[in-house]
Amino acid sequence: MSDSLLSPRVAVIGAGLMGREVASAFGRWFTLLDCPVRPELVGVCDVNAAALDWFRQVPTVRHFDQDHHALLARPDIDVVYVAVPHHLHEAIYRDVLRAGKDLLAEKPFGIDLPAARAIRDEATKLGRFVRVSSEFPFLPGAQRVVAYARSGQLGRVLGLRNSFLHSSDLDPAKPINWKRQTRFCGAAGVMNDLGLHVAHVPLRLGWKPVRLHAQLQKIYHERPDGHGGMAACDTWDNATLHCALDLPGQPGVPLVLETKRMSPTDTNTWEIEVLGTDGGMRYSTKRPKTLETYTRGKEQAWAAVDLGFATPFRTITGGIFEPGFPDILQQMWAAFLTERAGRLGDRFGCVTPDEAVTQHEWWTAALRSHADHAVVNL
């Protein structure tokens, strides 16, 4: 197998919050025991020169560019990870694909549905390998919920709820940033920002809504602009989508998708609960090693089990230790690069371009549902 598949040279465009996490994941790649691929971070690009400077401590990085065209013209780059504001996704992702590189895209994969379709179609036309970032399903607890939902042990399905919840926006003095402005984040607001995290598992189970009703809230309408004034904060803060699934022989199963920036006490809390007539499972990053299960009986109770470090790719980390954000980000990268090399097998994979387009269809329907106070058929 070629070097570019097993030893891919990777570059990052957008050296902000998420861009730096890649250097961290690759820097301790030797923790992975059974990943056939060994990537090297070779380049970084950011319009902000100060953001590039952090990467100078990463020994493998040899290209520092402020213009993504300059980075993409370099022949010694196989894969590009792009983590920039949403209004730039379509142009930069398509530039990556036209430069002959494979792409790990950030969510939401374009600022809206037409952008997502254009990126997906360009990737198909050019035959490039593209996946989209979503790391929470790689948590051991989430993996168990997925396996359980697939196993048939639920009996008749009573429903699935998946939530991604933040609370820092409750502070009205928190300054504005691009994620709170429609022209940069997109009209779908919090759904663009947090939505793929709650769409990945239902999409992968093949549990796609046939109709939905959305409740969207804009709670604070302005925020400090960081320069002594106030700026309009015009994105949706909280979104609750009540969806219906038609599962084989089970019409109208409820699926609830929650994305909230104002959820008291929650700091990056990802939660999932699936219930059936015979049993159920739930998992929350508030208790990252604990899986709760329920089995129907005369007396009914949730039982809690500590899972430890049962990640999809085995690691040197002791089986009783707790997993965290950097661990699942590394697992996601391992899945992306292993799938790119054709070696993923039956392990859980990253979001596909088609799945990313489908989540945009859901957010578009949610906007229409809210505007019309109506149930929207999908």
Ligand X SMILES: NC(=O)c1ccc[n+]([C@@H]2O[C@H](COP(=O)([O-])OP(=O)(O)OC[C@H]3O[C@@H](n4cnc5c(N)ncnc54)[C@H](O)[C@@H]3O)[C@@H](O)[C@H]2O)c1
Question: Which residues make Cβ contacts (< 8 Å) with residue 199, sequence separation at least 6?
Answer: 162, 257, 351, 355, 358, 359, 362
Closest separation in Å from C-beta 109 to ligand X = 9
Which segment (45-53, 270-278, 312-320, 334-342) binds ligand X by CB under 6 A? 45-53
Q: Is 13 in the site for ligand X (CB under 6 A)?
A: yes
* C-alpha–C-alpha distance, residues 65 and 318, integer Å: 39
Given the complex with ligand X, which of 18 and 210 has the nearer CB atom?
A: 18
- Give me the residue whose beta carbon is nearest to ligand X: 16
Under rule CB under 6 A, how many of the chain's residues touch ligand X?
22
Lay out the site mask for ligand X across 60-89 (x = CB under 6 A, - = otherwise). --------x--------------xxxx-x-
* C-alpha–C-alpha distance, residues 44 and 24, integer Å: 14
Please report where in the chains the tokens 């954000």 appear, as a residue.
325
Q: Is 107 in the site for ligand X (CB under 6 A)?
A: yes
Closest CA to 142 of 339, 327, 340, 352: 327
* C-alpha–C-alpha distance, residues 40 and 337, integer Å: 11
Q: Is 50 in the site for ligand X (CB under 6 A)?
A: no
Q: Is 359 in the site for ligand X (CB under 6 A)?
A: no
* C-alpha–C-alpha distance, residues 132 and 103, integer Å: 8
Given the complex with ligand X, which of 163 and 281 has the nearer CB atom?
A: 163
Q: Which of 4, 6, 7, 16 binds ligand X (CB under 6 A)?
A: 16
8 A C-beta contact, residue 233 and residue 223 = yes
Q: Is 39 in the site for ligand X (CB under 6 A)?
A: no
Q: Which of 78, 95, 102, 106 binds ligand X (CB under 6 A)?
A: 106
Given the complex with ligand X, which of 53 and 121 has the nearer CB atom?
A: 53
Lay out the site mask for ligand X across 115-154 (x = CB under 6 A, - = otherwise). ------------------x-x-------------------
Q: Is 45 in the site for ligand X (CB under 6 A)?
A: yes
Q: Is 187 in the site for ligand X (CB under 6 A)?
A: no
Q: Is 158 in the site for ligand X (CB under 6 A)?
A: no
Closest CA to 218 of 76, 367, 94, 359: 367
Given the complex with ligand X, which of 15 and 188 has the nearer CB atom?
A: 15
8 A C-beta contact, residue 325 and residue 285 = no
* C-alpha–C-alpha distance, residues 266 and 14, integer Å: 27
Which segment (3-11, 42-50, 250-258, 350-358) binds ligand X by CB under 6 A? 42-50
The tokens for 296 are 């129907």
Closest separation in Å from C-beta 200 to ligand X = 11
Give me the helices (H) in the chain, please: 3-6, 17-27, 49-53, 68-72, 89-98, 113-126, 140-151, 182-185, 190-205, 325-340, 353-372
Q: Is 277 in the site for ligand X (CB under 6 A)?
A: no
Q: Is 204 in the site for ligand X (CB under 6 A)?
A: no
Query: Taken in order 22, 77, 333, 204, is the CA torsion positive or negative?
Result: positive
Sheet of 79-82: strand order equals 63-65, 40-45, 9-13, 79-82, 102-105, 130-132
Given the complex with ligand X, which of 275 and 364 has the nearer CB atom?
A: 364
Which residues make up the interface to ligand X (CB under 6 A)? 13-18, 45-48, 51, 68, 83-86, 88, 106-107, 133, 135, 193
